[in-house]
Chain A
Amino acid sequence: MKVTDYESIVGKDVVYELGLISKKLKNKKVQCINSTKQGGGVAEILSRVIPLLNDLGVTTTWDVIEAEPEFYNITKAFHNALHGSSVTITQSMFDKFIAIGEGIKKRTNIYGDIVFIHDPQPIMLIDKKSKNKWIWRCHVDVSSPNMEVWEFLKRFIDRYDISVFSSPNFARQLEIPQFLVTPSIDPFSEKNRELTQEEIDGVLEKYEIAKDKPIITQVSRFDYLKDPVGVIEAYRLVKKYVDCQLILAGNRAADDPEMDLVLADIREKKGNDPDIHVLLIEPEKNDLDINAIQRASNVVIQKSIREGFAITVTEALWKEKPVVASAVGGIPQQIRHRHSGLLCHTVGGAALMIRELLNNPEYAKRLGRNGKEHIRRNFLSTRHLRDYLLLFLAIDKTEDIIYL
């Protein structure tokens, strides 16, 4: 993709401004370092943003650290601990992280004027800091971390020049500035691109979903924190008045032992109701199928009990769907109640709002239209790109107003 491809979506003016900002970084070399080229959200963001940065004339490279499998088992445990999961962390894990980290340092060549480190795996590379500038980008929800792991990592983080987090509630006590770069979606990706009616119908047929009743959908992992049982209860309250169907769609996360328990609860609650469709989507078909299901829906719901940013809400809003979502995590940043969607707090409230939308299609349409505009301005790849450019410029400036 080229940056100019985005002009048709965000406007020539926005792309022109990206060009103006990037000119100020002409002589800088940005070196991004993470732990994998494929799989996971970080690799997805980098593979999208790095070509665009180069297209704008900002020389940006991408290096991946190399380590033995044991290292990744340890960092996976750290990752879960940072998320607040109860995992056993031992002193030997910290010792091995340091020992293997020494090897990573020896094998990794540092050449960037700006070194952009993603997540904890390459964090020890900060030992190689010289006169260049270093950024630590945290993609993990660290709002309630295992403090032992956090304190261990903090020793390294505090030696970076700046840090970057995805949500305001991830901010922690650090010696260095903490910037906010919220997630974004790519309007040209398989999950968000425009689809033809044939493509949408094809996916509905595959899952044997008829279009004879309005569709309410929640897309999420099968996780208690997404409250799928609450969603079924809300649907049942709606169904008393409006004959509708419910889709609960998600994919199978390889490392989620809780999922089978959640699915069992959902199936029990579903009973024999043929209008509830529980779709376990194959990972390789995930993007297209989710895109089609979201586009086929009359109302999208996200009744989470706890959330990070809730990128599924961003995706639904971008598709101009009326959304009913819990006022938790990053959702209120995306939805302004009664302007770009509806914020709920309870099962009963969610049901009432879904009925309101199904019975007032013009109102639902207006919310969807506003929601799409809000996403266009604030949560597309071009904004992510702009934030990164500004971050590279902000690294050695502390003023509130910076004249370029």
Chain B
Amino acid sequence: MSRWTQKAKNPFHFNTSVALKELTGKKARNLRELVGIIKEVPGSVIYYHTHGFLQRQHSFSPDPPNAFANWVSQTLGEYKLGEELAAIDICEFSTIRELRGKIVQVIENHLFESKESLRYAPPGREFEFIKAHSFVFPTGFTAHNLKEFEMILEKVTIYSIYFHIFEARLRLEKGVNDFSFWMGTSAKAQEVAKKIAALDPYTFNMESLRRKIIDIIRKWCNESN
């Protein structure tokens, strides 16, 4: 039987997630205020400014998926700290709590070591904290084998891919992305699962991530023919 059409133990149901933004009314003018608010806001706020930033900017070529780094560099002109924040490997963290801790640590270390006085954002350019409400719903597409999976992957929005690669993994505190989990446990495609899990999602924009995943599936399935 072809790898393309081999029936999976369980079908894969494609979901999607879209976000509505809520204003928290909290604003930071300098690094002390920024770190103070980062410590106290709900996880959905941290999520919005890290992974959500990537989702909104996904049409661009690789760039730090992190609104804090962007503001620190572009508005405060703190380029060294901006680079340190940008360098945080968001994929390394499986919970928002850990990610928040890392961001706080980097900013607090900088404040501790810095001998300069605090820089202030000009009026109107404060960091505005926003919260994401995620609406998760089924797309109605279900794959029973890799052929169907590949065809559906061509059809769904980038928000669906985003949901299965990022949101399910981090915000819902799953250790692995949904695609790799299904490939490994249901579709008997461990090699594909490993390759997808090993992709560095931040070095692709969302459309090229979609193409890369499709390429991996095609290559593996066609090897068997």
Contacts and interface: CB of A to CB of B under 8 A. Distances in A.
A377 B157 contact: no
B164 interface: no
B133 A370 contact: no
B23 interface: yes
Contacts of A337: 74
Contact of A374 (B25, B60, B140): B60
Report the contact-size class of chain A (Cβ under 8 Å from the partner).
35 or more
A11 B74 CA distance: 33
B125 interface: yes
Which 4 A/B pairs are nearest by Cβ-Cβ distance?
A: A168-B128, A373-B59, A404-B137, A171-B23
B87 interface: no
Interface in B104-148: 124-126, 128, 130-140
B22 A177 contact: yes
A17 B139 contact: yes
Interface stretch (B1-9, B13-21, B190-198, B212-220): B13-21
A336 interface: yes
Contacts of B18: 17, 21, 386, 390
A257 to B, nearest CB: 25
Contacts of A397: 133
A306 B23 CA distance: 21
A178 B22 contact: yes
Contacts of A306: 124
Contacts of A178: 22-23, 25
Interface of B: 16, 18, 20-25, 27, 42-44, 56-61, 63, 70, 74-75, 124-126, 128, 130-140, 155-157, 159, 171-172
A339 B205 CA distance: 13
A401 B128 CA distance: 21
Nearest to B26: A171
B68 to A, nearest CB: 14
B130 A20 contact: no
30 contacts: A16-B139, A17-B157, A20-B16, A20-B137, A169-B128, A171-B128, A172-B25, A178-B23, A180-B22, A327-B125, A328-B125, A329-B124, A337-B74, A339-B57, A339-B63, A340-B60, A376-B59, A377-B56, A390-B20, A391-B20, A394-B133, A397-B133, A399-B133, A401-B133, A401-B134, A401-B136, A401-B172, A402-B136, A404-B135, A404-B136
A387 interface: yes
Interface in A366-398: 370, 373-374, 376-378, 386-387, 390-391, 393-394, 397
A190 to B, nearest CB: 26
A373 to B, nearest CB: 4
A328 B25 contact: no
Contacts of B22: 177-180
Interface-central residue, A12, A180, A337, A394, by most chain B CB under 10 Å: A180
Given A143-B124, A169-B124, A180 B133 contact: no
Given A21-B18, A180-B23, A370-B59, 17 more contacts: A17-B157, A24-B137, A168-B130, A171-B24, A171-B128, A173-B25, A177-B22, A178-B25, A179-B23, A180-B21, A306-B124, A336-B57, A340-B60, A343-B74, A390-B135, A400-B43, A401-B133
Contacts of B21: 179-181
Contacts of B70: 336
A68 interface: no
Given A340-B60, A386-B18, A400 B131 contact: yes
A241 interface: no
A116 to B, nearest CB: 15
A339 B60 contact: yes
Interface in A321-363: 327-329, 332, 336-337, 339-340, 343
B43 A17 contact: no
A373 B208 CA distance: 14
A378 B74 contact: no
A152 interface: no
A12 B63 CA distance: 28
Contacts of B27: 169
Contacts of A180: 21-23, 130
Nearest to B44: A400
Interface string A8-40: 000111101100110010000000000000000
A21 B135 contact: yes
Contacts of B63: 336, 339
Contacts of B130: 168, 180
Contacts of A169: 27, 124, 126, 128
B23 A377 contact: no
A235 interface: no
Contact of B134 (A173, A370, A373, A400): A400
A134 interface: no
Contacts of A403: 136-137
Contacts of A386: 18
B60 A336 contact: yes
A394 B24 CA distance: 16
A387 B125 contact: no
A165 interface: yes
A305 B32 CA distance: 27
A20 B139 contact: yes
A56 to B, nearest CB: 15
B127 to A, nearest CB: 10
Given A172-B25, A404-B137, A339 B74 contact: no
Interface-central residue, B58, B126, B133, by most chain A CB under 10 Å: B133
A12 B139 CA distance: 13
Contact of B137 (A11, A21, A332): A21
